[in-house]
Structure 1
Amino acid sequence: MQHTASYYAASSREQPVYPTLQGEWVADVCVVGGGFSGLNTAIELAERGLKVVLLEAHRMGWGASGRNGGQLIRGVGHGLEQFAPVIGSEGVRQLKLMGLEAVEIVRQRIERYGIDCDLTWGYCDLANKPAHLAGFEKDAAELRELGYRHELRLVQPQDIHSVVGSDRYVGGMIDMGSGHLHPLNLAQGEAAVAQTLGVRLFEQSAVTRIDYGPEVNVHTAHGNVRAKTLVLACNAYINGLNPQLSGKVLPAGSYIIATEPLSEALAREISPQNLALCDQRVTVDYYRLSADRRLLFGGACHYSGRDPQDIAAYMQPKMLKVFAQLAGTRIDYQWGGMIGIGANRLPQIGRLKDQPNVFYAQAYAGHGLNATHLAGRLLGEAIAGQHGDGFELFARVPHITFPGGQHLRSPLLALGMLWHRLKELA
C-alpha cells in the first residue's frame, strides 16, 4: 500500500523503497511500526550498538507520522497534575521537563543528521476567549520556572493581527522554541538514518502473528524475525495485533486540507510571522503555511469511526470561518488518517507486565511529533539497560482499557467528547 494522496506525499523529497521481509532473520530487537516511534526507537538502539530489524506494514511514515499537521509543539499529555497521586508532584514536574526535552530531541536529530524537512521555528497558541489568554500568562510563568530558555511572548487583543489574519481570536502566546516542519520528509530522513546505522528496514511486511516467550518470534506473510526483545510501535494502527494494547488506544480520524499556493501578500496576511498556529477549543483548529505558501488547515477529530465522504467539503467551511479572505481559493489536497488516543491523554510508554521483553509506545492524542521522539529515547535507554526515571515514570501511570470492546469504544468516546464540547460552550 502506497502513501495516502496528501500534500506531503506529493512534495516529499524522496520516497525510497525498502524490501519486503523474506525468510528468517535474527536480531537483538524487532521493532513493529515504521512511524516516528518505531524509527526513533530503532535509531536509539542502533546508536547503542544493538542489532535491530524494523517491520512496517505499508511504507515508512505511512500512518500519522507522514500525514500529521507538522506542528512541533512543546509538552506531552494533558492536565499532568492528575497524575500526582501516582507519581507525586516531582514526577509531574519531570513529565513537564520531558515535554520540553522532546522538542530538543527532534531538533538535535535533524541537526546531527542533516535532515531536510523545512524546519521552521515559531508557534502561537491562540486564545478563543479571555480566560485562555489568562491561562497563557500562567503557562509562561511555569515554563520560565522550569528553565525554558526560548522566547515566550504574550500577544494582546489589539496585536493579534500581527500573528494571524483573523478576527476569531482575543490574544495568544508565541513560543519560539516550538515550530513546524514537513513530517513525511522527517520520517523518510529518519528511516535513511536508521539504515545508515545498520537497522534492517522492511516495508509491506505486516505482522500476522507473534509468538511470545523469552525469545519472541514475529511472523509476516513471507518471513519471520526472532529477537530477544520486541517493540510494538503501531499506535492507532495496532488493530488486533496485541489485544492488551489495542484496548487502551482509540483510533480517531483527523483531517487536513491544503490550498493552492497563496500569493506572497495573502500568505503574509494569513500568517505574518510564518508561525504554526493552534486554537484552544475541544474541536481544535490548527494550521500553518507550507514552504511553498499553501495553507495547511487541520482538525475535526472524528471519534465515530466514520470518515467524511468528502474531506474538502467538510473542512473548507471550517477554514473559511477563520479566514474568510480565502473564499474562492482552490483546495489542492485533502487527506486524513488515524491518531491514537488514550483515556487520560498521556502517551503510553512501557512494557507488558506478563511479557517483560515486550515494550510499547502509543496513544499520543494528536501531539505525537515530539512525544514519539521522546518515546524512542526512553525505550532505547530502557532496552539497552540504561534505565532512567523517565521510562519508569511513564510506565507507572496506569491506563484503562476502553469499555465495550472494539465496536463500542468509539461511540462511547464520541459521547464523552460531546460532553466536553457542551461544557466548553457553557
Structure 2
Amino acid sequence: MNMPARALPRSLWAATACPAPAYSQAKPQLTADVAVVGGGYTGLSTALHLARKGRKAVVLEAAEPGWGASGRNGGQVIAGMKATIGDLAPLFGEDSARRMVVNMGSSAELVFSLIDRYGMNCHAIRGGWLQAAHGEKPYKETIVPRFEQWRALGVDAQLLDAHQTAAALGVDSAPYHAAWRDPRGGVLQPLSYARELARAALQEGADILPRTPVTALRRDGNAWQVTAHGTEIRAGQVVIATNAYTDGLWPGLARAAIPVTSFQMATYPLDARFDPILPVGMGVTDSRRLLLYFRRDHQRRLVMGGRSPVEDNPRFADAAPLQRAIQGLFPELGLPKPEFVWSGKVAITKDRLPHIHHPAPGLHVFMGCNGRGVGLCTMMGQLLADLADGRSAGDVPFPITVPDTFALHGLRRLGIYALSQYYRLLDQLEASGRLR
C-alpha cells in the first residue's frame, strides 16, 4: 500500500511553489501499458519518458505529486552518485562501473534539458555545486578522488583551497578545509519541479491520479491487476517508485531501505547587504557523515538542511542546531530566525547505492536515492521507462540487483540514533584535525 492521502505539510516549498496542473480524473476501470506507483521525481520522470515513447502510462499517487521527498528536499541538482568508479568496480566490474558513473553524471544535464524543453516554472539556476571538506581526512579521501574522477572524464571541475572556498561562499574567514566545484550542478524549487514534471507528463499523454493509494498488486495472466482506491488498472508492466515511503505493497521491499528523516529551515528573505553571501544558483553540501547542505532560494532566503532532531511535524525550536550552523558559517547573519521548518524522508540502502530491482516479470522497482534525489531520480525514471518499454537489462547502463534487506529493520530508529551519535563524533574529530 501507498501512504494514505494527506495535505502537503507546511514548508518553504509549499508556500512558494507554482500551481499544480489539472490532474486526470479517476475511472472505475483503466488500462495502461505501464502503471507507475508513486508520484515523485522517479515516477513522474518514468511516466514522462514512457509517454514520449508512445506508451500509455498511469501514475498512481496516494497524496499528490511532490508530497514526499520530491517536494521537501533542498532543491540541489547534483550530477552523479556519491560512489566513484573505484568504489563500484569491485562490485560490478570496471566497464559496468564506468557506464554507471558516466550515465548518472549526465543526470543534471537531463534535469536542465527537461526544464528548457517544457519551459518549466521552477526557478532553476545552473550555478554549480560545491562539496566542501570539513577536515584534511575527508579532503584526501572524498573530495580529491571525486574531483580527479570527473576531471578525467572531461568535466571542468575545480579544486579550491580554504581561501578560495571562503571566497566562493562569500565569507572572509575559511569555514572549510577545502572544496571542489562541479559546474554541472545548480538549484531549483523542488516542489515546482515535481509539479512541472507532472505537467509535462500530462502534456505528453500520461494520466496522473492523485489521492489514489494502491492497495493491492497481483499478477493476472500476462498482465498486472492494480487496485487503487476504487480504481482497477490492468497494465502490462508496473513500476514501483515509492522510495523512502515504500511499505508492504510488495513483500519484503520496504526492508531494502531505511527511511531517514532530513530536516530543513529557511530564514526570512535576507537584506540586499547580504547578497555576496552564498551566490544564488549555487548549491553547497559538505563532507560530514551527518552532512549540512545549504543554498539561497529565489526570494533571497538562506535554506539550510541536516539530520533531523524529530521524525515529522518539526517545531521552530527544533531549528536551533541549524541556526547555530548558519551562524558558524556566516557570522554576519548572527543567529537567524527561521521563517519555515520542515522535514522529509530519505531512503538509505545498506550499501548507500541506488538500486533497480526486477522481483517479478513485468515489475520494475527503484530504491535508494541516498540523498541525491533531484538528478538521480530523474535519470532513474528514464532508465525505468527504457526497461518498461522493452529494452533489455544488459542495454541499460545500470545493473539489476536483488534487494539486500536490513535484518533488524523494525529496530531502525534505535540503530539510526546510535549510528548518528557515532558519526557525529567522527565528524567532530575530523573537523578538529584529531582524526587523520
TM-score normalised over the length of structure 1: 0.91
Give the structure 1 partner of residue 238 of structure 2. Answer: 230
Q: Is the 8 A contact 2:103 2:397 kept in 1?
A: no
Alpha-carbon displacement from aligned partner over 1:71-122 (angstroms, at most 9, x marks no partner): 1111124355344334111211112112211112112111111112111121
2:150 to 134, 143, 147: 143
**1:9-48 matches, cutoff 5 A:** 9-19=14-24, 21-48=26-53
Distance in 2 (alpha carbons) for counterparts of 1:284 and 1:60: 27
Distance in 1 (alpha carbons) for counterparts of 2:139 and 2:161: 8
After superposing the two structures, state which structure 1 stretch, 134-143 or 273-282, moved more: 134-143
Give the structure 1 partner of residue 362 of structure 2. Answer: 357
2:249 to 230, 241, 266: 241
Residues 2/390 of structure 1: CA separation in 2 closer, same or farther (3 Å cut): farther
Residues 174/193 of structure 1: CA separation in 2 closer, same or farther (3 Å cut): same
**1:179-328 matches, cutoff 5 A:** 179-213=186-220, 214-268=222-276, 270-272=277-279, 274-301=281-308, 310-328=317-335
Distance in 1 (alpha carbons) for counterparts of 2:145 and 2:258: 31
After superposing the two structures, state which structure 1 stretch, 153-162 or 227-236, moved more: 153-162
Distance in 1 (alpha carbons) for counterparts of 2:422 and 2:104: 28
Letter in 2 for 1:9: A
Letter in 2 for 1:403: A
Matched, 1:404 2:411: no
Residues 394/413 of structure 1: CA separation in 2 closer, same or farther (3 Å cut): farther
Give the structure 2 partner of residue 128 of structure 1. Answer: 134
Give the structure 2 partner of residue 348 of structure 1. Answer: 355
Q: Is the 8 A contact 1:308 1:314 kept in 2?
A: no
Matched, 1:63 2:71: no
Structure 2: gaps (5+ residues): 1-5, 430-434
Q: Is the 8 A contact 1:21 1:220 kept in 2?
A: no
Deviation of 1:168 (Å): 2.0
Distance in 2 (alpha carbons) for counterparts of 1:423 and 1:161: 23
Task: Tell me the secondary structure at the aligned position of residue 120 of structure 1.
Answer: coil
Distance in 1 (alpha carbons) for counterparts of 2:417 and 2:86: 24
Letter in 2 for 1:124: L
Give the structure 1 partner of residue 432 of structure 2. Answer: none
Letter in 2 for 1:33: G
Q: Is the 8 A contact 1:41 1:379 kept in 2?
A: yes
Distance in 2 (alpha carbons) for counterparts of 1:45 and 1:250: 29
Report how many residues are paired. 418
Alpha-carbon displacement from aligned partner over 1:197-232 (angstroms, at most 9, x marks no partner): 111110011111112343211112221211111110
The CA RMSD over aligned residues, in Å, is 2.2
Distance in 1 (alpha carbons) for counterparts of 2:420 and 2:335: 32
Residues 272/58 of structure 1: CA separation in 2 closer, same or farther (3 Å cut): closer
Q: Is the 8 A contact 1:120 1:179 kept in 2?
A: yes
Q: Is the 8 A contact 2:347 2:369 kept in 1?
A: yes
Deviation of 1:66 (Å): 0.9
**1:94-109 matches, cutoff 5 A:** 94-109=99-114
Distance in 2 (alpha carbons) for counterparts of 1:389 and 1:160: 41
Matched, 1:385 2:393: no
> Sequence identity of aligned pairs in percent?
30
Distance in 2 (alpha carbons) for counterparts of 1:387 and 1:102: 21
Q: Is the 8 A contact 2:265 2:304 kept in 1?
A: yes
Q: Is the 8 A contact 1:290 1:296 kept in 2?
A: yes
Q: Is the 8 A contact 2:324 2:335 kept in 1?
A: no
Residues 390/256 of structure 1: CA separation in 2 closer, same or farther (3 Å cut): farther
Letter in 2 for 1:115: M
Alpha-carbon displacement from aligned partner over 1:224-267 (angstroms, at most 9, x marks no partner): 21111111000111122223211101111001111100012213
Task: Tell me the secondary structure at the aligned position of residue 249 of structure 2.
Answer: coil
Alpha-carbon displacement from aligned partner over 1:302-348 (angstroms, at most 9, x marks no partner): 6x857755433453233323233222533111110111111111111
TM-score normalised over the length of structure 2: 0.89
Distance in 1 (alpha carbons) for counterparts of 2:245 and 2:281: 32
Deviation of 1:32 (Å): 0.6
Deviation of 1:68 (Å): 0.4
Distance in 2 (alpha carbons) for counterparts of 1:220 and 1:389: 32
Distance in 1 (alpha carbons) for counterparts of 2:370 and 2:224: 29
